[in-house]
Amino acid sequence: MDSGKDERPDGGRPARAAVSASRLQEVFGDVLPATTSDERDENARDDSGRGDDWYRENRPPHHG
């Protein structure tokens, strides 16, 4: 059952994943934060100055 190809038993996926990950890093850089939202300071203030109240007051009528 030799197909003549040099295949790895795992299908080559780890090597491909490593190449893909390095290629993504090369193309896009570090676009994701290093921490998740539950690791960040909950008391950090949003710099936009617009809280949830502003968005509720300015919500279009067709958005319920």
Note the pLDDT tens digit of each residue in 27-51.
887 777 778 878 887 776 666 667 8
Half-sphere exposure of 8 (CA within 13 A, CB side): 7
| Tokens, residue 48 | 């936009």
pLDDT grade for 22, boundaries at 50, 70 and 90:
confident
If you average pLDDT over residues 11-40, what whole number do you get? 75
- The per-residue pLDDT for 3 is 53
pTM for this entry: 0.25
If you average pLDDT over residues 13-28, what whole number do you get? 76
Straight-line distance from the first to the last Cα atom of the chain, in angstroms, rounded to the nearest whole number: 63
